[in-house]
């Protein structure tokens, strides 16, 4: 019985370890990968339309090699089924390398690289998550068109609530994200899903 119990504990630990490892697979570029991230030609207008055709919103996530906050995002947030399932269902996520050389076509038609796009759009932190509109017909840039930007790493509920707020088009309403987030946290407390702190 003792042997069986130890074996089950070891298998459980191995399963958790493998899940974390799968959630934080490193690519050749040194960035952590999710199997459900979308690989595109990084033509932003085209990507917005592709996402819309799938009933989703385009999200760009800037990361960089060796970023401990990016790793934490992958291991703690994107490996959480509640978080990942919501994002996969509602968003098309395209990963960008803050210092990468892959070609990018901005909404104004300018051809850039990932690193020059990051500079042009003013993104300096990793991870930075950029939420694009459902459609865009203007001639501005990604930073002009973005409906929300989340610079840095946050806890589960701030992270997930930002995706929910964007999906619900909170940016068009009167309820600022911080008020929305506080309301959702209070609802989660009332449901007993999180502690009172």
Task: Encode pLDDT of 57-102 as tens digits.
Answer: 999 999 999 999 999 999 999 999 999 999 999 999 999 999 999 9
Which helix or strand (DSSP H or E) is residue 158 part of? helix 156-167
Cα–Cα dist 190/169, whole Å: 24
Q: Is the pLDDT of residue 16 over 80?
A: no
Tokens at residue 111, please?
């051809």
Question: What span, in angstroms and rounded, lies between the C-alpha atoms of 96 and 44?
Answer: 12
Q: Quick one: pLDDT band at residue 196, thresholds 50, 70, 90?
A: low
- State the sign of the Cα–Cα–Cα–Cα dihedral 7, 12, 13, 19: positive
Predicted local confidence at residue 42, as pLDDT: 98
Cis peptide before 8 (omega within 30 of 0): no
Q: Quote the CA–CA distance of 191 and 88 in Å, as a whole number.
A: 25
The average pLDDT across 23-27 equals 78
How far is the C-alpha of 24 from the C-alpha of 19, rounded, in Å? Answer: 9
Bridge partners of residue 131, in order along the sequence? 59, 148
Q: Do 106 and 51 contact (CB within 8 A), yes or no? A: no
Higher pLDDT: 58 or 4? It is 58
């Amino acid at each position: 019985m003792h042997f069986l119990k130890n074996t089950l504990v070891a298998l459980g630990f191995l399963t958790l370890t493998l899940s974390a490892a799968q959630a934080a697979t490193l690519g050749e570029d040194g960035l952590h990968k999710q199997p459900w991230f979308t690989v595109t030609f990084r033509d932003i207008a085209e990507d917005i339309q592709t996402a819309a055709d799938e009933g989703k919103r385009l999200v760009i996530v800037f990361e960089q090699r060796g970023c401990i906050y990016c790793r934490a995002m992958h291991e703690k947030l994107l490996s959480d089924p509640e978080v990942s399932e919501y994002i996969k269902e509602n968003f098309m996520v395209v990963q960008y390398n803050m210092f990468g050389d892959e070609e990018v076509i901005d909404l104004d038609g300018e051809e850039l690289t990932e690193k020059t796009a990051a500079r042009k759009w003013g993104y300096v932190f990793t991870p930075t998550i950029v939420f694009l509109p459902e459609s865009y017909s203007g001639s501005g840039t990604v930073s002009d068109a973005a409906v929300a930007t989340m610079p840095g790493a946050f806890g589960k509920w701030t992270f997930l609530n930002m995706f929910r707020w964007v999906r619900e088009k909170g940016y068009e309403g009167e309820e600022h994200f911080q008020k929305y987030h506080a309301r959702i946290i209070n609802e989660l407390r009332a449901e007993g899903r999180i502690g009172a702190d």
